[in-house]
Structure 1
Amino acid sequence: MTSEASRAPEATTTHTLTGVPALPPLLLRGALLSPLKRPRPDADFPRTRLVLPGLRVDLARLAAYERVCGFPTGADALPVTYPHVLAFPTAMRLMSGRDFPLPLLGLVHTSIDITRRATMPASAEYELTTYVEGLAPHRRGTEATVVTELRAGAELVWESRSTYLARHRTAEHPPEAPSTGNPEPLPTHARWRLAGDVGRRYGAASGDRNPIHLHPLTARPFGFPRTIAHGMWTVARCLAEHGTPDAAVVRADFRAPVLLPGTVAYGAGEDGRFELRDGEGRRLHLSGEVGPYPA
């Protein structure tokens, strides 16, 4: 039990936005404030729920996203991962603020859980809600959970929980679940040769222009010899290959970065599990599972 859990909960406020936040100033603010942050799991965090009503999908941007991720284009239905892109500006508004305790630069997306309750037409109007659910200790630092909800009218049609890790020295390590190591590979269904510009193409379609994805020179200060693929691109690419039910539950864990350019192997089992490994099938980059909702 963390000290965060022992504190009395603070009041939550709701802020209704009049439009989609502009990303460049948010990313700049987050970068400038990052050196000032001192992350710890018992730190305070923003209790604001950002609500964006009247949200419409930019169909040209959606098509660019579908092309780079391997989804079919032209259907009046959002890919299961696309609401994460819609929520990216509101998430950045929260995570780039002074009251968010983790530095935006170097923040690592470690997992995502998605529940899609029904098909989501690309032509529909939605209401988006984003908020920080809490902080938790991690053996490598502090992890934040960010929740996104998408509604059509009053109906909740899609929701996700993403965890983001800020790495830092820790005095104590929380208990860890038993390690599964590097599990036996799933049957390989495809091998993909990834070009060096995948990060830039996905960044242009999604708005996520983190420097680790854009150029080797901007990735090296963060410890990467080359650019790396976005974690959300890897899960979207796998789900485009795997397919998902109209009502689906998805879980994905980002295990190791995918260096660009490079070759990866997509594997899948009959039980809904999927994964992404290196070209030789040894290093596990992504593991996940997809099934029907309700389970």
Structure 2
Amino acid sequence: MITDWHTLNREPSLPGLYARAATRRKITGTTLPDSGLRCWVDVDPKRLAAYRKVCGFADNGLLPPTYPHILGFALQMQLLTTRDFPFPLLGLIHLSNRIRLLRPMGGVNRARVSVQVQNLQPHAKGATFDLLTTLDDQLGPLWEAQSRMLCRGVKLEGEPLEENLVTNLDMNEVEHWKAPSDIGRQYAKVSGDYNPIHLSAASARLFGFPTAIAHGLWNKARTLAALAGHLPVANVEIAVQFKKPVRLPSEVTLLASEPGASGDFQLVGVGELEHMVGHWRPVA
């Protein structure tokens, strides 16, 4: 697919995009737009420091491996609330996330973010698509991500494809932490992601959840912060599949294989409830 790229002069304003998202509640089609958005963004040191604190990353001079998601969030919001995007943003479910660190992300003060959607596929509960985000600096590609999203209720022809991320290495406990009741609000402040299902029990109940749940990307970020000594800083792909949501408040345990070029990890809750599985591998 050839993408029709639109370059913005500045990052979109999130309040207006949330207002637009709140008024879009219906499925309007089954074709993804072939346009993408690009914009140069600056890394705000204060926001970066706040993100490190909420997610547990040490300041080692590198951007945290999940931080480009924050740099691209406003562009993603704009793309997913355009008139030709067929699905309502509120209610989309994040099934999996895969990031590739192509080079060490040190000294990155300004970068170009690009976002697009593609790969619409039937699913047993509706349809999935991939939200692609890339980060480039003056030297070229630096980081890229693929987030697989589910929209319930979409009807597409074809056989649903099952995606299961397999972990096969021996794992041991690495760390145990609490996900407090306000972590959704803390993460929203540093990420801009104010999805109601993460903010409070009252707002989550409006969307069918008995209590607020942690952001999937906070779970991944907190996990990668704990695995900093296990992972390479570049030429690595880190994939996760989100399982049962982390209800707030909760306590979780991170299991992982030994440090190295490749490895597996798992985030579990009380009673070995599986919240997230993942692995890291060298970029192919």
Report the TM-score when normalising by structure 1: 0.87
Superposition pairs of residues 3-152 of structure 1, within 5 angstroms: 12-33=3-24, 35-38=25-28, 43-53=30-40, 55-73=41-59, 75-152=60-137
Q: CA deviation at 1:183?
A: 9.0
Superposition pairs of residues 177-216 of structure 1, within 5 angstroms: 177=162, 186-216=171-201
Contact 2:31–2:86 under 8 Å retained in 1: yes
Instruction: List per-residue Cα deviations over 1:158-182 (Å, max 9, x = no partner).
Output: 1111111111265877244497899
1:256 maps to 2:244: yes
Q: 1:122 to 1:261 in 2, by over 3 A?
A: farther
Distance 1:157 1:220 in 2: 39
Kindly tell me the number of residue pairs found equivalent between the two proteins.
Answer: 278
Segment drifting more, 56-65 vs 133-142: 133-142
1:275 maps to 2:266: yes
Q: 1:258 to 1:180 in 2, by over 3 A?
A: same
Contact 1:30–1:97 under 8 Å retained in 2: no
Distance 1:184 1:229 in 2: 27
- Secondary structure at the residue paired with 1:120? coil
Instruction: List per-residue Cα deviations over 1:40-61 (Å, max 9, x = no partner).
Output: xxx12221121112x2101111
- Secondary structure at the residue paired with 2:146? strand
Gaps of 5+ in 2: none
Gaps of 5+ in 1: 1-8
- In structure 1, which of residues 218, 221, 245 is the aligned counterpart of residue 232 of structure 2? 245
Once superposed, what is the RMSD of the aligned Cα atoms? 2.3
Distance 1:182 1:117 in 2: 23
Distance 2:19 2:89 in 1: 10
Q: CA deviation at 1:146?
A: 1.0
Contact 1:70–1:241 under 8 Å retained in 2: yes
Contact 1:15–1:48 under 8 Å retained in 2: yes
Q: 1:245 to 1:215 in 2, by over 3 A?
A: same
Q: 1:178 to 1:160 in 2, by over 3 A?
A: closer
Distance 1:67 1:203 in 2: 13
Distance 1:253 1:242 in 2: 17
Distance 2:63 2:111 in 1: 12
Q: 1:59 to 1:115 in 2, by over 3 A?
A: same
Contact 2:255–2:267 under 8 Å retained in 1: yes
Q: CA deviation at 1:108?
A: 0.9
Match of 1:288 in 2: 278
Question: What amino acid is the match of 1:279?
Answer: V
Report the TM-score when normalising by structure 2: 0.90
Q: CA deviation at 1:97?
A: 1.5
Q: 1:285 to 1:184 in 2, by over 3 A?
A: farther
Match of 1:6 in 2: none
Distance 1:181 1:216 in 2: 33
Q: 1:89 to 1:180 in 2, by over 3 A?
A: closer
Question: What amino acid is the match of 2:81?
Answer: S
Q: CA deviation at 1:232?
A: 0.2
- Secondary structure at the residue paired with 1:36? coil
Distance 2:180 2:13 in 1: 29
- Secondary structure at the residue paired with 2:221? helix
Q: 1:265 to 1:101 in 2, by over 3 A?
A: same
